[in-house]
């Protein structure tokens, strides 16, 4: 039943998504492109953080490296966008494998801080490697003057998001997903059952890296200017995580629902209280993790309803 | 590098390490007793620095006299935050507690940006930049006093944990929360107390740092990562571990800073990776609070 609702809902959103840019203004095209971007990055985090249960706090590193890959290839080597964009995804995925091999041996707090450390360390290296990245001054990409450039970005972003959803969906119907969920619930037991935990963890992390890298590459082309502070900011990592948790970690539709709610709130607040915008992220994190750490999907699946009692119950389960 | 230059770097490293050890001390007690990685710890350092800065700017109070004031302010802030907010998720999965302290960090830093703006502030006392000279090696007074305060506070904390009833209650909760509760320990109060002490240590470190580095709302983040590395380096959950870890880390950072300037966090991270590979229990081995 729930599945059918989601199929219809998904088809409807897709249809609206496809024809929307023909009607709305440039502001809304930009806002909705941003929504796709956040949803796609959350979907990327969902592989490692949601299904596999590894608290990755450095996923922005894939975004930043994707952005700089496209930036460097287009700016320094004069390559066109499409191959640079593909390279961004490859770099993101490969970097995830390289970092994942040592880092995915760690667990819990150690994994969280190690990933956070990777992201900060890469930002610092990018800041200091001026011959390649132009350091703190930032990098300007060739500007595309095509009249429908914003539509081009819109559809590409939508395309990445759809592929990410499709990948999650196919994965959620494969045997691998049971392995990933088993790792989340009890890694030692999963290993004892003969599950190749290393391979599955690397796969989940690489998928995160691939999609986040692609989105980073497209973002660089879209924004035409990148600097280390804006593309390696910890805020993006927090967005990915809180959106996934808000929607429902370890579900196909959770990150999408989370992104819609989060982005709607954010856009609404941005219009009214610009200076409180950053504070808002902090408050959303605090409220969501205390009152609904299982996300909207926990309710949508029909087991419970959002009542005062639900929130009280959640708090009672975890307080001291 | 000549002998003088090497000695100077060692002195710089140890003096820097003293303050870093103080930051790590508070981080370590919260982690060891409550199993919480307190991402907001760096933000507490920042608030401590601003307490010292404003008291100096508005009332001309010497920043060293602000150390106890900053500690008191942050103790209260930490106690209340733990009692009424973090306690709500103490039994939740690690991701939840980690994220909650991250959310608190974002809130505190942005409130600071809102109230105190992003301007760079500095505390310049009459004795700033002065020091004495030992065979060509400069020893600045402020940093030396910072190391002294750091050692003093570590000693006081050890005494408190070992000699007082409250300290013993804190250690008991850290060993086995349920058992301590059955023995009649008020766990909520003890957790809040522990978090408050952790925040107070951060406040003291912040007040000292206000005289050494530039004070901005975003100064704290780098100290959180360093504190984590120092705790892993020294071995989690021991006062001597945090002190030794801090001093060793200060040396590593001082020497690495000559070769790779501006790469502090990358160096800290490299140290973390090396320890996790070769000696996961830290230099001092695994020890509990004693």
- Cβ atoms of A294 and B93 closer than 8 Å: no
Q: Give the per-residue pLDDT at B290.
A: 44
Of residues A220 and A137, which shows the higher confidence score?
A220
Residue A259 CB-density burial (10 A; 0-12 exposed, 13-18 middle, 19+ buried): buried
pLDDT at A68 over 60: yes
Confidence of residue A165 (pLDDT cuts 50, 70, 90): very high
For residue A37, what pLDDT is reported?
A: 96
Q: State the count of interchain CB pairs (< 8 A) between A and B.
A: 123
pLDDT at A23 exceeding the cut of 50: yes
Give the number of other CB atoms < 10 A from CB of residue A220: 30
DSSP string spanning A232-268? S-HHHHHHHHHHHHHH-TTSSSHHHHHHHHHHHHHHH
**Which pLDDT band, with edges at 50, 70 and 90, does A25 fall under?**
confident
Report the gap between the CA of B111 and the closest CA in chain A (Å): 7
Residue B24 CA to residue B45 CA, distance in Å, equals 11
The confidence score (pLDDT) of residue B281 equals 64
**Are residues A296 and A261 in contact, defined by beta-carbon separation less than 8 angstroms?**
yes
* pLDDT attached to residue B53: 96
Most A CBs within 10 Å, among B24, B30, B107, B173, to test the A interface: B107
Cβ(B78)–Cβ(B235) below 8 Å = no
Distance of CA B11 to the CA centre of its chain: 20
Query: What pLDDT sits at residue A134?
Result: 87
CA distance B60 to chain A (A): 31
A172, A252 Cβ separation under 8 angstroms: yes
Q: Mutating which of B95, B187, B281 best tests the A interface, going by the most A Cβ atoms within 10 A? A: B95
Contacts of B102 in chain A (CB under 8 A): 238, 285
| Per-residue confidence (pLDDT) for residue B289, from 0 to 100 | 53
Give the highest mean pLDDT range of A107-116, A141-150, B163-172, B237-246: B163-172
pLDDT at A14: 81
Rg over CA atoms, chain A = 19
Least-confidence region, from A165-169, A175-179, A314-318, B199-203? A314-318
pLDDT band (50, 70, 90) for residue A147: confident
* Closest CA in chain B for residue A108: B94
* Better pLDDT: A277 or A212: A212
Task: From residue B8, give the alpha-carbon distance in Å to each of A115, A154, B69, B192, B255.
Answer: 34, 57, 33, 41, 10
CA-CA distance, A90 to A96, in Å (whole number)?
A: 10
d(CA A180, CA A201): 7
| Closest residue by Cα to residue A248 from A300, A209, A202 | A300
A319 to B96: CB separation less than 8 angstroms, yes or no: no
Model pLDDT for residues A224-265, shown as the tens digit of each residue: 999 998 999 999 999 999 999 999 999 998 999 999 999 998
Side-chain half-sphere exposure of B149, counting CA atoms within 13 A: 27
Mean pLDDT (whole number) for A139-163? 90
Per-residue pLDDT of chain B (290 residues; tens, 9 = 90+): 788 889 999 999 999 999 999 999 999 999 989 989 999 999 999 999 999 999 999 999 999 999 999 999 999 999 999 999 999 999 888 899 999 999 999 999 999 999 999 999 999 888 888 888 888 888 999 999 999 999 999 999 999 999 999 999 999 999 899 999 999 999 999 999 999 999 999 999 999 999 999 999 999 988 998 999 998 888 777 888 889 999 999 999 999 988 888 788 888 888 887 787 776 666 665 545 54
Among partner residues A110, A117, A289, which is closest to B225 by beta-carbon distance? Answer: A117
pLDDT score at B219:
93
Residues 6+ apart with CB under 8 A from B116: B50, B217
Give me the pLDDT at residue B282, please: 64
Secondary structure, 3-state, A181-248 = HHHHHCHHHHHHCCCCHHHHHHHHHHHHHHHHHHHHHHHHHHHCEECHHHHCCHHHHHHHHHHHHHHC
pLDDT at A304: 64
3-class SS of residue A97: helix
pTM: 0.90
Of B114, B187, B228, the CB nearest to A275: B114
> Which of A:246-265 have CB within 8 Å of B?
none
Beta strand segments in chain B, E: 131-134, 137-140
Averaged pLDDT, A57-63? 96
Give the chain B residue whose CA is nearest to the CA of A184.
Answer: B93
DSSP element (H, E) containing A140: strand A139-140
Residues of A in contact with B176 (CB under 8 A): none
Q: Please determine, for residue A166, whether its predicted confidence score (pLDDT) is greater than 60.
A: yes
Shortest alpha-carbon distance between residue B88 and chain A (Å) = 4
**Non-local CB neighbours of A19 within 8 Å, separated by 6+ positions:** none
Q: What is the mean pLDDT of residues A267-283?
A: 80
| Contact between chains at A281 and B98 (C-beta distance less than 8 A) | no
Tell me whether residues B225 and A113 touch, CB distance under 8 A.
Answer: yes
* Residue B283 pLDDT: 64
ipTM: 0.88
Q: Looking at the complex, does the CB of residue B154 fall below 8 Å from at least one CB of chain A?
A: no
Flag whether pLDDT at A103 surpasses 60. Answer: yes
């Amino acid at each position: 039943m729930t599945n059918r609702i989601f199929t219809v809902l998904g088809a409807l959103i897709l249809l609206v998504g496809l024809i929307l840019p023909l009607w709305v203004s440039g502001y809304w095209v930009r806002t909705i492109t941003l929504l796709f971007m956040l949803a796609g990055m959350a979907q990327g985090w969902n592989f490692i953080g949601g299904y596999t249960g590894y608290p990755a706090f450095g996923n922005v590193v894939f975004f930043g490296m994707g952005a700089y890959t496209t930036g460097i290839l287009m700016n320094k080597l004069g390559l066109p966008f499409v191959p640079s964009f593909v390279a961004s995804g490859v770099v993101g995925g490969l970097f995830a494998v390289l970092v994942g091999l040592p880092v995915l041996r760690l667990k819990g707090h150690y994994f969280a801080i190690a990933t956070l450390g990777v992201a900060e360390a890469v930002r610092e290296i990018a800041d200091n490697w001026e011959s390649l990245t132009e350091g703190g001054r930032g990098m300007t990409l060739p500007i595309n003057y095509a009249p429908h450039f914003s539509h081009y970005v819109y559809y590409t972003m939508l395309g990445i998001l759809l592929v990410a959803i499709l990948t999650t969906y196919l994965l959620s119907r494969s045997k691998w997903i049971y392995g990933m969920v088993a790792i989340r619930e009890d890694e030692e037991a999963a290993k004892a059952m003969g599950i190749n935990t290393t391979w599955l963890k690397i796969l989940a992390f690489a998928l995160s890296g691939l999609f986040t890298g692609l989105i980073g590459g497209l973002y660089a082309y879209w924004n035409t200017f990148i600097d280390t502070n804006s593309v390696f900011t910890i805020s993006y990592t927090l967005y990915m995580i809180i959106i996934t948790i808000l929607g429902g970690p370890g579900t196909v539709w959770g990150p999408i629902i989370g992104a819609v709610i989060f982005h709607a709130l954010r856009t609404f607040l941005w219009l009214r209280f610009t200076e409180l915008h950053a504070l808002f992220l902090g408050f959303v994190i605090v409220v969501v993790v205390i009152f609904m750490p299982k996300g909207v999907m926990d309710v949508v699946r029909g087991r419970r309803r959002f009542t005062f009692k639900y929130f009280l119950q959640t708090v009672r389960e975890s307080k001291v | 590098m000549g002998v003088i230059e090497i000695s100077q770097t060692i002195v710089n490293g140890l003096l820097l390490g003293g303050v870093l050890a103080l930051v790590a001390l508070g981080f370590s007690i919260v982690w060891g007793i409550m199993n919480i990685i307190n991402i907001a710890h760096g933000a507490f350092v920042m608030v401590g620095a601003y307490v010292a800065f404003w008291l100096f700017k508005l009332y001309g109070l010497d920043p060293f006299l602000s150390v106890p004031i900053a500690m008191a302010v942050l103790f209260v802030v930490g106690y209340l935050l733990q009692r009424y907010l973090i306690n709500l998720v103490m039994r939740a999965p690690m991701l939840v507690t980690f994220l909650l302290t991250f959310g608190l960090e974002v809130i505190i830093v942005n409130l600071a940006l809102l109230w105190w703006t992003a301007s760079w502030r500095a505390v310049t006392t009459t004795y700033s930049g002065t020091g004495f000279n030992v065979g060509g090696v400069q020893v600045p007074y402020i940093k030396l006093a910072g190391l002294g305060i750091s050692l003093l506070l570590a000693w006081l904390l050890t005494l408190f944990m070992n000699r007082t009833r409250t300290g013993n209650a804190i250690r008991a909760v850290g060993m086995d929360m349920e058992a301590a509760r059955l023995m009649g320990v008020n766990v909520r109060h003890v957790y809040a107390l522990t978090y408050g002490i952790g925040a107070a240590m951060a406040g003291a470190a912040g007040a000292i740092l206000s005289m050494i580095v530039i004070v901005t709302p975003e100064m704290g983040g780098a100290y959180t990562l360093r504190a984590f590395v120092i705790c892993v380096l020294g071995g989690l959950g021991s006062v001597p571990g945090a002190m030794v870890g801090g001093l060793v880390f200060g040396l590593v950072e001082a020497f690495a800073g000559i070769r790779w300037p501006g790469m502090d966090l990358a160096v800290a991270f490299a140290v973390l990776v090396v320890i996790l590979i070769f000696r996961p229990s830290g230099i001092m081995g695994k020890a509990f609070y004693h």
